[in-house]
Structure formats: C-alpha cells, structure tokens
Amino acid sequence: MTVTQGTLRILHLGDLFFHRTLDVRASLTRLLDDLCGPEPGLGLEGIDLIVACGDFSWQADPVDLAACCRFFQDLTSALDLDMSDCLLVPGNHDVDWSYRVYDHWPISKDLIDETPTDLRYIDGKTLFILKQEDYPRRFGNFAEHLYKPLIGRSYPLEPSKQYQLFHHKPGNVCLLGLNSCERIDRFYNRRAGLNPLALADALRAARHENASLRIACWHHPVSGKDGLENESTVEQLISAGFRLFLHGHVHGDRRQDFLRNVGQTWFIGAGCFNRALIRGQVRVRLYNLIEWDADKDQVQVHQRIFNIFEDRWLPWK
Ligand SMILES: [Fe+2]
C-alpha cells in the first residue's frame, strides 16, 4: 500500500494482554469499526504502518501468544498490509518468568562477595545467582510463538543484537525497534533500559538510511517511575534525527503520561489496548492513530479511548 495524500498513518498499539479466553474476533471488529467506520469512527481508507509496543500477553504463555498471532494476522489481512509494515517490540510481560534463570543457594558471605551485585538477588536466607548463559532464554516464547510466526524470521535472543531497523519505503520513514526489557526479570521488574551495544549498532546502521522521518520505539516510557535507567541514551537518538518515540507500558489516566512533545520531538504512549483491569485496578483502554503529514511536516495524534457503555472506541476528549 502506498501512503495516500502525503500523509503517513500509523496504528500504535501497546499492552495488548491477549489471553486464550479473550474474544480475538470481537477485539478486531471493534478496532476496525473505529479505524474505518463513520463518525465517531476515524473513517480512514487505510493504514500504512502498525507499531506494537509490547506486552502482547500477560505471562508470555504460548497459547495466549497464539491468540495474539491470530489478531495480527487478521488485522493485517483486513487492512491489506503485510508483516513488513509492522514493527513489534517486547514488553516486560513478554519476559517468561517461569523460565528459571537463577540458581539458588543458602546465603553465605563468601558467595555474596564473589558475585557481582547485578547478578544476584537476596531473599531472606537464600541467595539467587543469575545464570548468564540462560538469561536471554526469557524471551524464547516471545521469539518462537509470536515474533517468528508473524514476522517470518527469528527474534535475536542476544541482547546486543536486539534491534530492528528498517526503511518503510512507501512512507519514506526509518523505523527502529529496541528492547527496553533485556535486564528485567522476576526479581528486577523495574530495570528498564536500552542495551548500549544494540543502540550503537542501530545508530551506525541508521546513518545510511535517507528517510524523511525517523521513528524509534520500545516498551517503557523514557522517564517517570518506570522510565529508562539510562534515559540519557535517548539524546543520542534525538541527535541522530529520531523525532517520534513510541512506547507502551503506561496505564494511568493522566494525559501527559501518554503524549508529550518538545519542539519537533514527540513522546507518544499507547496505553492499554485490551485489558481494563490490571492487578485489581480499573485502567483506561487506549490506542493511538498517528498521522504525519509529510508535506507540512506535522504530527497529529488521535488518542482513542474505549467506552464500555457504548462498547466502542471513541476520541479521548
Ligand atoms: Fe509493561
């Protein structure tokens, strides 16, 4: 599909939390009704890109990820897109916590002294020591049961290789996907950050991309309580010409957590697409349709909120 009327349209989803009991067909129908239906729908004739910012299921369970696969297959088919028009990055819920990546030992001073701080966790009288060779396997289910069936190639488990950079020719945009969860596990669930080696390689490769717009995405917000530990790395991306930063993970109802722009740089959060109840708290359900007018170099973000009483998506006013 070519970009129509000089405007690039990006469907921006996050925190999809697919589950085997969730009605994939209903979720898809409501989204398509909103995108393509008459007012209060967006009345679009098409979408150019889909960016999905992680948390595809609740626990990276293969059966739940299969439900998410069906959703994306049907979505791309309905919008006449193929998976080369999609960018998927993992979230903290795409880390398989059931995969044991720590050995545990009775606590001892010698063991503590000889184990680097970021490779250990202490719980009462037990010392957990990270198994470095097994650690990347936490993304095995995401790689095998979601990424490969959809994208058609393997997702690299080696953290320094976890970047996807591609040039979307119809829109003349450069897209970069990174993993902000490579140091997150069941003990350290707030250790968000970007791998410096992956980032350096991605920036090197991006230099050769002659694009009108550069977009970067990962799961976590740049700042705030769940923000990146190495927030300053984002400056490198801005210096390299990246202007749109898309993320997921935020679930509150404060608009500034979802949308912020500083000059020509935009930070856009997708909210929670499917799940209204998280850890006993009711959350707003949101997604974004982002339009970039290439001729005017303008960005417009349509934030869509799910109204449970009308059982449909509406503009977030
Ligand atoms: Fe998350």
Ligand 1 centroid from CA 226, angstroms: 9
Average pLDDT over every residue of 163-192: 94
Residues 70 and 217 in one domain: yes
Ligand 1 centroid from CA 247, angstroms: 10
**Full residue range of the structural domain in which residue 289 is found:** 4-95+139-315
Residues 263 and 228 in one domain: yes
Residues 24 and 125 in one domain: no
Q: Would you give the distance in Å from CA 163 to the centre of its chain?
A: 12
Average pLDDT over every residue of 30-37: 96
Residues 63 and 113 in one domain: no
Angstrom distances, CA of residue 287 to CA of 51, 108, 270: 11, 49, 5
Residues 48 and 123 in one domain: no
For residues 87 and 202, what is the distance between their CA atoms, to the nearest angstrom? Answer: 15
Ligand 1 centroid from CA 55, angstroms: 6
Give the per-residue pLDDT at 304: 96
Q: What is the pLDDT of residues 233-285, one digit of tens each?
A: 999 999 999 999 999 999 887 888 899 999 889 999 999 998 766 666 667 89
pTM of the model: 0.94
Ligand 1 centroid from CA 4, angstroms: 33
Ligand 1 centroid from CA 81, angstroms: 26
Residues 129 and 205 in one domain: no
Q: What is the pLDDT of residues 125-161, one digit of tens each?
A: 899 999 999 999 999 999 999 999 999 999 999 999 9
Ligand 1 centroid from CA 296, angstroms: 34
Q: Name the residues around ion ligand 1, CB cutoff 5 A.
A: 55, 91-92, 249
C-beta atoms surrounding 177 within 10 Å: 24
Q: Total structural domains in the chain?
A: 2
pLDDT over 70 for what percent of the chain? 96
Ligand 1 centroid from CA 272, angstroms: 9
Residues 52 and 163 in one domain: yes
pLDDT band at 93 (very low <50, low <70, confident <90, very high): very high
